[in-house]
């Protein structure tokens, strides 16, 4: 039995966190070593990342919660972002997102740091979003659908957002 939130985390981890299949070793694709730290996994130990699939990537119990936190904090912030008028206005003006969004942004950054994720690149200008911009809250989460998958990324607020919303 898993809670609904845990199922959602697993789905998000499957879509957004597991490294590309071509970047994984044979052992990682077979699930005998962790997809993130490559530590060996004894049978039955760790988290089955794609239950029911022939592809059987698995994760160790230290890596999985770290990646699940990246997925869930992003999901929470994005959910806020898509429904908050105040954030929308602030973002178009290049101002920091609303007070309610700030703890969520901080949680997302902490989770990304714990997962050793380097600074994200802006969807619009392709420049890195600097540490100052990240801590100052002048960025927003952005999901977009490509030819075969949905992607999660980040965008600078202000001019970068204007360019994208004009499309």
Binding footprint of Zn ion on the chain (CB under 5 A): 34, 36-37, 60, 63, 84, 86-87, 98, 101, 122, 124-125, 156, 160
Of 54 and 126, CB closest to Zn ion: 126
Phi, psi of 144 (to 5 degrees): -140, 155
For the beta carbon of residue 98, count every other beta carbon within 10 angstroms: 18
φ, ψ of residue 93 to 5 degrees: the values are -85, -5
The residue (of 63 and 138) whose beta carbon lies closer to Zn ion is: 63
Measured from the CB atom, is 13 or 147 closer to Zn ion?
13
Quote the least distance from Cβ 2 to Zn ion, whole Å.
20
Least distance CB 151 / Zn ion (angstroms) = 16
Number of continuous H segments (helices) and E segments (strands) in the chain: 7, 4
CA–CA dist 140, 119 (Å, integer): 13
The least CB distance from residue 11 to Zn ion, in Å, is 20
The Cα angle at residue 14 between residues 12 and 17, in degrees rounded to 5? 80
In order of 63, 68, 83, the CA distances from 145 in angstroms are 27, 21, 19
Choose between 112 and 156: whose C-beta lies nearer to Zn ion: 156
CB of 96 to Zn ion, least distance (A): 10
**Rounded to the nearest whole angstrom, what is the least distance from the CB of residue 146 to Zn ion in the complex?**
19
Torsion angle of the four alpha carbons 62, 64, 70, 74, in this order, in degrees rounded to the nearest 10: -150
Nearer to Zn ion, 4 or 92 (CB): 92
């Amino acid at each position: 039995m898993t809670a609904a939130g845990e199922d959602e985390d697993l789905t998000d981890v499957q879509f957004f966190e597991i490294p590309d299949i071509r970047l994984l070793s044979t052992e990682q694709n077979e699930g005998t070593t962790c997809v993130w730290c490559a530590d060996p996994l004894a049978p039955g130990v760790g988290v089955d990342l794609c239950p029911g699939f022939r592809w059987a990537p698995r994760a160790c119990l230290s890596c999985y919660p770290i990646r699940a936190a990246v997925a869930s904090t992003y999901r929470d912030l994005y959910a806020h972002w898509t429904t908050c008028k105040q954030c929308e206005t602030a973002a178009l003006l290049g101002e920091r997102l609303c007070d309610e969004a700030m703890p969520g942004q901080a949680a997302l950054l902490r989770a990304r740091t714990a997962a050793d994720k380097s600074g994200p690149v802006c969807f619009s200008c392709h420049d890195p979003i600097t540490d100052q911009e990240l801590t100052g809250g002048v960025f927003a989460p952005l999901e977009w659908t490509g030819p075969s998958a949905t992607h999660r990324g980040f965008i600078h607020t202000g001019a970068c957002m204007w360019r994208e919303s004009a499309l």
